[in-house]
Structure 1
Amino acid sequence: MFAAARSSLRSGVSSRAFSTTPSRAADLAKLVLIGRLGKDPEVRRTKTDKEYITYTVATTNFPPPPPNADGSRAESKTTWHTILSFNPSANNFLRLLQKGSRVYVEANYELREPDLSADADSPQGQRQIFLRHETIRVLQSPPGPSNPNDA
């Protein structure tokens, strides 16, 4: 292994472990979520009339945070994540999902900084996180309606 490195040094060829040239194909910002759908996925349209699906996944931090100095422990908190899907084939599947389904989701993550000229209380004036749907797997379907004959 080291012989190849030594020979390249002797021949005057340098080897770098990284590159300073941009390689966007290798860049990645991904978020993995395991949680439950907070509501049925919704069909929406962009300003240019392109259809997309938005769905919400609820996750809860478990185990709860470490105990405070006094020994008390804060409650686990639920976080709501809104994911957008612009993929027509994925959208056909997403339409069939129901609130309460336990899902595994992979989403591309994009953080947008606030517009300094916008009102700080508006969405444009706040930091925004965009999650773009990549894959989804249903881990568990929601419990069906109880059968009234099963009393």
Structure 2
Amino acid sequence: MFSVARRAVVSRGPMRAFSTTSSRAADLAKLTLIGRLGKDPEVKRTKTDKEYVMYTVATTNYPSPPPNADGSRPDSKTTWHTVLSFNPSSNSYLSTLRKGSQVYVEANFELKEPDPSADPDTPQGQRQIFLRHETIRVLKPAPLTESSDKES
């Protein structure tokens, strides 16, 4: 019995790797968001005068959290995600999007640890999450309002 199983393992041939790139080059931290734009994307500039676009996506956890001991269910919580885009070709498209649009976003995820010498009440003294824009798809455009009709 063991000889048959051993023969089957040996006869499988050489095993192939999932990727030919080194494991370090294939490491990835990506976040996928499906939510609504919290406000119109903003065009900004870095200290070195490089243009970028910052936009915010609101997501809500569904289903809502498990019931409390008394049987009541807490409300679902909305989380706000700030995404930065440094790609000029994406930036021109992003600046046309409007608050309320439902979007599908893929972003690279980077976690910055706090500066130990900084005040914990400042952003430098807190853990920060940076989301770098990769792709966006509009699933449902924001409804047109009277004020947006007048602007066009």
Structure-1-length-normalised TM-score:
0.83
Structure 2 unmatched runs, 5+: 1-7, 147-152
Aligned to 2:89: 89
Deviation at 1:25?
A: 2.4
The match for 1:68 is 68
Which residue is 2:140 aligned to? Answer: 140
Please list the CA deviations of residues 36-83 of structure 1 after superposition, one character each: whole Å capped at 9, or x if unmatched.
000000011111100000000000011100101111110001100000
Alpha-carbon separation, structure 2, partners of 1:39 and 1:63: 25
Identity %: 74
Pairwise CA distance, 1:24: 3.1
TM-score normalised by the chain length of structure 2: 0.83
For the aligned residue pairs, the C-alpha RMSD in angstroms reads 2.2
Q: Write out the 4+ residue segments of structure 1 that deviate beyond 3 Å after TM superposition.
A: 15-18
| Partner SS, residue 25 of structure 1 | coil
Q: What residue identity is the alignment partner of 2:59?
A: T
Deviation at 1:31?
0.4
Correspondence for 2:24: 24
Query: In 1, Cα distance between the equivalents of 2:43 and 2:24?
Result: 30
Q: Tell me how far 1:16 sits from its aligned partner.
A: 9.7
SS of 2:124's partner is helix
Q: Secondary structure at the match of 1:26?
A: coil
Task: Determine the C-alpha separation between the residues in 2 that align with 1:65 and 1:137.
Answer: 28
| Structure 1 residue matching 2:36: 3-state secondary structure | strand
The equivalent of 2:4 in structure 1 is none
Q: Which runs of 5+ in 1 are unaligned?
A: 9-14, 147-151
Counterpart in the other structure of 1:129: 129
Give the structure 2 partner of residue 98 of structure 1: 98
Q: What does the per-residue CA deviation read over 1:6-36, in whole Å, with 9 as the maximum and x for residues that have no partner?
A: xx7xxxxxx7979xxx633211100000000
For 2:44, the equivalent position in structure 1 comes to: 44
